[in-house]
Structure 1
Amino acid sequence: MRRVMFSILIALLFFESNGQDIKFSKIKSDTATTFNFVNKTYAPITLKITHKKDSEIRFLEGETLCKPQDSLINVVNIPKRLFENDSTFETSDYIGLSYSFGKRLHKDSIKKHLYELPFQKRKRYKIMQGFNGKFSHRSVQSKYAIDFKIPIGDTIVAARNGYVVRVVSHFTERGGKSFRDKANQIVIVHDDATFAYYVHLDTNGTLVEVNDYVEAGQPIGIAGFTGYTTKPHLHFVVRNYDTAIPIEFKKRKDIGKKSGVWVRN
């Protein structure tokens, strides 16, 4: 019984281990186990639950928005008899769970903003890969990303004011595509609900915590060499939900449009 209940919870508890203040709370009764989705961050979050196979599990199918500092009630309800009568029962066989920061914004609601460079003043770095870079900036999520060739140990700063909603700092390795989900990173939500991603930070190289409010130019992390990468660098991208958006900087509005150039702050 304990092994079965553990297998039921694996997918749900994934959120807590990956999102610090994003998790499921569990309520047990004589007839069922119910899960609520809890969002303690300052970001809207879209929860996605997909149907895989028919069962008596009741759940919020499709995409459901959870507002900042809010929760969703009765997200998943698992009748007790399901796991009592079937020792091989696993929730992941019947439903799929995932979440994304934000909600899809109409372009008119995205504020025009000139960003600070994400590194300290009087520093100069090369852009390894800019917008639509041939190596890895072709996806919807990264087409407007910029890779700054910042060496391990240098300081990363916030490019815009906002609240920290995600901090990952425990990864130690880097390599090919199999390391795509093993990059240390910081995610910050802005006042228009766009998100900035600062990726490939050093192990234990974060200087902020979830729910901290940071201002542009404030040190937030240490450059590193983790995740899907062949060289130390900072991968910086701003997204509307899951889609990268073009941005401009105060220093020069053409930064990011060309790879191989140097930029001084």
Structure 2
Amino acid sequence: MKRGFLIVWTLLFFINANSQDITFTKTVGDTATTYNFINKTYAPVTLKIAKLKEIEFFIKEGETICKPEDSLIKVISIPKRLVENDSTFKTEDFINVSYSFGIRLFKDSIKSHLYELPFQRKKRYKIMQGFNGKFSHSSEQSRYAIDFKMPIGDTIVAARSGYVVHAISHFTERGGREFRNKANQIIVFHDDGTLAFYVHLDTNGVLVKVNDYVKAGQPIGISGFTGFTTKPHLHFVVRNFDSAIPIEFKKQKNIGSKSGVWIKN
């Protein structure tokens, strides 16, 4: 049984290491061990399981939506004989498991909204990189992201009200692309289904917890220098599922359209 634990630990390490509110449970039976996907947050979560090569065990392949505070039962089932008869068996050789918060929204269901700036009043910061920035804002997930040049230790506030669905602050390192998944961050789920990401926070720099309701302008985190970054800054982006969307701010509607400018709140 110990070997079975180690096999699935390698497969699910990313999910379990990043959130105790998005996790798996396992049920050990006489013929197989099955895994259930658990979503304890107030947002829907899309589970993604892709087959890498032919397998002899059951998976719920493709994208499956898990409702808020709900679960998906028996998404993976591994026959006992595979674990007992093959000491080299590794699930990550056969399948890839990941998840994304939210579901894909139709454009007309996304509310028109003017955002608050994600920092305190009377503060001003330079935009290091705006929309479609060549350094790291060319992907679908970051196309409309804004990087505010913010020193370590400044206060980050919610740009829009919503529920915290992800909050992680234990990372300490920063560097190149290999640190992409090691950025401390907060994700807030809005009432229209969009999600705001506040990224590169300080170690232990999260002031909220999962399922907290935060109001626009409320302090939620401390700026830092973690993850894929060369300078301390706040990476702020709003997404429809896994695609960044253009946004406008109350203070000035065209913020983000140009890099190198100073923005005052």
TM-score normalised by L of structure 1: 0.97
CA apart distance, 1:199: 0.6
Shift of 1:149: 1.1
- Write the deviation string for residues 229-261 of structure 1: whole angstroms up to 9, x where unpaired: 111110000001111000000011011111111
| Counterpart residue number, 1:107 | 107
- Decide whether the 8 Å contact of 2:100 with 2:241 is kept in 1: yes
Deviations 1:170-216 (A, max 9, x none): 11121122221111111111011111000111111110011111000
SS state of the match for residue 81, structure 2?
A: helix
2:234 is aligned with 1:209: no
**Aligned mates of 2:4, 2:128 — CA distance in 1:** 48
Number of equivalences: 265
Give SS of 1:160's match.
coil
Letter in 2 for 1:16: N
Tell me, in whole angstroms, the C-alpha distance in 1 between the residues paired with 2:8 and 2:154. 43
In structure 2, the residue corresponding to 1:11 is in which secondary structure? helix
Query: Helix, strand or coil for the counterpart of 1:122?
Result: coil
1:138-181 Cα offsets, whole Å, 9 max, x none, are 11111100011111111000000011111111111211222211
Give, as a single letter, the amino acid of the residue that structure 2 aligns with 1:169.
S
The aligned amino acid for 1:216 is A
5 Å-filtered alignment, 1:34-113, equals: 34-113=34-113
Tell me the secondary structure at the aligned position of residue 171 of structure 1.
Answer: coil
2:264 and 2:251 map into 1 onto residues whose CA distance is 8
AA of the residue aligned to 2:203: T
SS in 1 for 2:193: coil
Q: Distance in 2 between matches of 1:78 and 1:95?
A: 12
- CA RMSD of superposed structures (Å): 1.2
Q: Percent of aligned positions with the same letter in both sequences?
A: 71
User: Are the aligned partners of 2:185 and 2:197 in contact in 1 as well (CA < 8 Å)?
Assistant: yes
What 5-or-longer segments of structure 2 have no aligned partner?
A: none
The corresponding residue for 2:12 is 12
1:161 and 2:169 correspond: no
Could you say what secondary structure the match of 1:7 adopts?
A: helix
CA contact (8 A) 2:193 2:240 kept: yes
Offset of 1:54 from its aligned partner?
2.3
8 Å Cα contact 1:13/1:23 also seen in 2: no
1:258 aligns with 2:258: yes
Q: For 1:117, what is the secondary structure of its paired residue?
A: coil
Please state whether the residue corresponding to 1:211 is helix, strand or coil: coil
CA shift, 1:130, in A, is 0.9
| Structure 2 equivalent of residue 198 of structure 1 | 198
Q: In the alignment, residue 246 of structure 2 is paired with which amino acid?
A: P
Please list, as runs of the form range in 1=range in 2, the aligned pairs for 1:132-211 lying within 5 A after superposition.
132-211=132-211
Q: CA separation in 1, counterparts of 2:96 and 2:128?
A: 37
Check conservation: 1:5, 1:83, Cα contact below 8 A: no
SS at match of 2:225: coil
Q: CA deviation at 1:8?
A: 3.0
CA distance in 1: counterparts of 2:7 and 2:74, whole angstroms: 20
**Mind listing any 5+ residue stretches in structure 1 that lack a counterpart?**
none
The one-letter code matched in structure 2 to 1:120 is Q
Within 2, Cα distance between the matches of 1:264 and 1:173? 29
Q: Letter of the aligned partner of 2:252 in structure 1?
A: R
Does structure 1 retain, via aligned residues, the 8 Å contact 2:3–2:83? no
Q: 10-19 vs 125-134, which deviates more? A: 10-19
CA–CA separation in structure 1 for the residues paired with 2:81 and 2:258: 60
CA distance in 2: counterparts of 1:29 and 1:212, whole angstroms = 37
Which SS does the other structure have where 2:237 is aligned?
A: strand
Post-superposition shift, 1:4?
4.6
Deviations 1:75-128 (A, max 9, x none): 011111111111111111222111111111111111110000000011111111
Distance in 2 (CA, whole Å) between partners of 1:104 and 1:192 is 11
Cα distance in 2 between the residues matched to 1:179 and 1:74: 32
Taking the aligned partners of 2:141 and 2:63, their CA distance within structure 1 comes to 19
Quick one: which amino acid aligns to residue 56 of structure 2? E
Q: Give distance in 2, aligned partners of 1:147 and 1:56.
A: 46
Where in structure 1 do 4 or more consecutive aligned residues deviate above 3 Å?
Answer: none
Paired residues for 1:124-135 under 5 Å: 124-135=124-135
